[in-house]
C-alpha cells in the first residue's frame, strides 16, 4: 500500500509545512530501513521510500510558497508545447495522450479524474462536467472509484476545448458509461501509464518545465480558474 507517489506526497507536505531538512531526512530514514528489509524478504520488489532529489523538492515548495503561480503554466499556448511533445515521443504518436493532458489542465482535473470521465458526465448543452468518477492505483492494478472524498463537483468546460471534448464523445459512442479518455488500446490512464508511454518527465525537462509533475496540471487549471474570478472556497473542492 506504500507507493512511490504516497511517499513523494508525504515528503512534499512535510516540506510545505516547513519542517527542517534534517527532520525530513531522519523521518524518511526509518521508513527506508523498513522497506529495504521488505525488499530483501521478497515482500516488495522496489523500495518506495528512497526519495531522490529532495533538494529540488525543497526548492519547488519554496517557489510555490513565494509565488503560487510559479508552478502553473502561463497560458494555453504554453500547455500545447508539452502536450505535443508527449504525442511526438509516444509509440505510434497517439494523440490521446496530449488531449488528456490538455483536458486535465483546462478542467483542473487530477489524472485519475481524466481517466474516470464518462460520456454521461458531460452536459454539452450547458458545457458542464460533473466529476463523479476517478481511476486510482491499488494493489493488483487500477480500480475505479467515486469522486475523491465522495465530493461530486461541477466544472465548466471552456469554449477552447469544446471541439476536443465533442470529438471524444463522438468517438466513445452513445453509451453514457463509455470512457472519454483511454490509452491507444482502450486501457485506463494513470500517472504511471502516461509517464511510461510518453517519456513525460524527459519531455517537460527539455521544454524547461522542470516543476511540471504529477498534480501540476491541476495546479495550472486551478490558477487559471482563480484568475478568471472563481472563488477560493469553490476551488478547494
Residue 80: predicted pLDDT: 87
Which of 103-112, 126-135, 162-171, 198-207 has the least mean pLDDT?
198-207
Beta strands in 28-140 (DSSP E): 122-123, 128-131, 133-138
Provide the residue ranges of all domains of the chain, joining segments of one domain with +.
Answer: 4-66, 76-235
Q: Which residue has the higher pLDDT, 53 or 207?
A: 53
User: How crowded is residue 66: how many other Cβ atoms within 10 Å of its Cβ?
Assistant: 8
Beta strands in the chain (DSSP E): 122-123, 128-131, 133-138, 141-146, 153-156
Distance CA 215, CA 110 (A): 6
Instruction: Name the architecture of domain 76-235.
Output: Orthogonal Bundle (1.10)
pTM more than 0.75:
no
Amino acid at each position: 500500500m506504500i507507493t512511490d507517489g504516497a511517499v513523494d506526497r508525504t515528503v512534499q507536505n512535510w516540506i510545505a509545512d516547513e519542517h527542517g531538512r534534517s527532520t525530513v531526512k531522519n523521518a524518511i530514514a526509518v521508513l527506508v530501513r523498513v522497506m529495504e528489509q521488505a525488499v530483501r524478504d521478497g515482500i516488495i520488489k522496489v523500495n518506495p521510500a528512497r526519495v531522490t532529489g529532495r533538494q529540488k523538492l525543497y526548492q519547488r515548495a519554496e517557489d510555490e510558497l513565494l509565488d503560487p503561480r510559479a508552478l502553473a503554466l502561463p497560458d494555453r499556448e504554453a500547455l500545447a508545447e508539452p502536450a505535443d511533445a508527449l504525442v511526438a515521443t509516444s509509440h505510434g504518436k497517439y494523440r490521446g495522450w496530449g488531449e488528456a493532458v490538455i483536458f486535465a489542465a483546462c478542467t483542473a482535473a487530477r489524472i485519475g479524474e481524466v481517466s474516470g470521465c464518462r460520456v454521461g458526465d458531460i452536459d454539452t448543452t450547458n458545457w458542464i462536467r460533473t466529476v463523479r468518477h476517478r481511476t486510482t492505483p491499488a494493489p493488483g492494478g487500477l480500480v475505479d472509484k467515486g469522486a475523491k472524498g465522495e465530493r461530486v463537483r461541477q466544472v465548466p468546460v471552456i469554449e477552447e476545448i469544446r471541439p476536443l471534448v465533442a470529438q471524444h464523445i463522438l468517438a466513445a459512442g452513445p453509451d453514457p458509461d463509455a470512457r472519454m479518455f483511454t490509452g491507444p488500446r482502450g486501457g485506463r490512464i494513470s500517472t504511471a501509464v502516461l509517464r511510461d508511454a510518453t517519456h513525460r518527465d524527459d519531455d517537460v525537462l527539455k521544454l524547461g518545465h522542470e516543476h511540471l509533475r504529477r498534480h501540476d496540471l491541476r495546479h495550472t487549471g486551478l490558477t487559471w480558474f482563480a484568475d478568471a474570478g472563481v472563488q477560493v472556497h469553490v476551488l478547494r473542492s
